[in-house]
Amino acid sequence: SWMTWPLVIAGCTGRLSLGVKVKYLNSEDYRFRYFTRGKPGSQPSVLMLHGFSLNKDMWLNTIEVFPKDLHLVCLDLPGHGGTTRLLAESHTAVAQAKRIHQFVQCAGLNHNPFHLVGMSMGGMVAGVYAALYPAHISSLALLCPAGKYLHQIAALSIPCGPLYVKFFYKMVRKCTRLKFKMKGRPKGFLDLTSSESRYSLHDNMRKIKAPTQIIWGKEDKVFDSSGAGILAAAIPNSQVHFLEKCGHFITLERPRTSAKLLLEFYKLVCDSAEQKKVA
């Protein structure tokens, strides 16, 4: 990762107390790094996808309120954390979704439909995944997912190289008070904000059939919160939650509130599925 978040790194020390185990999965010439807790059971497993330049550890504060027996899998996305980084690889939303499909199959998550959660870039990828592989998804949660409503960054003419890095540094500083360090050239971000990728979720959202939860910070300065209404109008079985006095980095700014919303929705979907079985 070319960005380091002290708050997230500090959270890594809590892994042992949370009972998560870091694992690796090798598939062909690719290596995925993830952490997991619990074992697959009667209720759907939960796969969680982080935001751009972050890693799986951004979910540590969130899963504190989740039941210890709930099967969780938090993945380092391609090009992030301990998962393989191939310089020539595409990091568009569709390409990321296909790599996650590779992980899902190798990890055996596709044996039963699972609950998919994604924030920011991970939200865009999660939405595209749900559209491309609907049989895998029991339900979906999108936290301020990236898309065509990216009004502060992708709508501008983005410079490349050192000028780009300066530009993005200033943009993210504007959106959070957290300090971070940056290194390298962020090709993955250029792939994600390209015209090919930026409209991926918008172009696929009507294909999403799973019950969907949409959470957005009302003061998000990266992705316009009007995207929540656009998604809700296109996804038949969806609900929207706006968080007051919250910006883009939901899991860092409102970890417990967002976690409780995620868990409530998960339980609601599970209860609904059980009632259908009984009927």
Known catalytic residues? 120, 220, 248
| Spatial distance between the Cα atoms of 225 and 240, rounded to a whole number of angstroms | 11
Residue type, 85: R
| Spatial distance between the Cα atoms of 173 and 159, rounded to a whole number of angstroms | 17
- The angle at the Cα of 198, spanning 192 to 202, to the nearest 5 degrees, equals 140
Give the number of residues written for the chain. 279
End-to-end CA distance of the chain: 49
DSSP secondary structure, the chain, as one string: --EE-HHHHHHGGGHHHHT-EEEEEEETTEEEEEEEES---SSPPEEEE--TT--GGGGTTGGGGS-TTS-EEEEPPTTSTTS---TT---SHHHHHHHHHHHHHHHTGGGS-EEEEEETHHHHHHHHHHHH-GGGEEEEEEES--STTBTTTTTS----HHHHHHHHHHHHHHH-S---EE-S--HHHHHHTSHHHHTHHHHHGGG--S-EEEEEETT-SSB-TTHHHHHHHHSSSEEEEEETT--S-HHHHSHHHHHHHHHHHHHHHHHHHHHHHH-
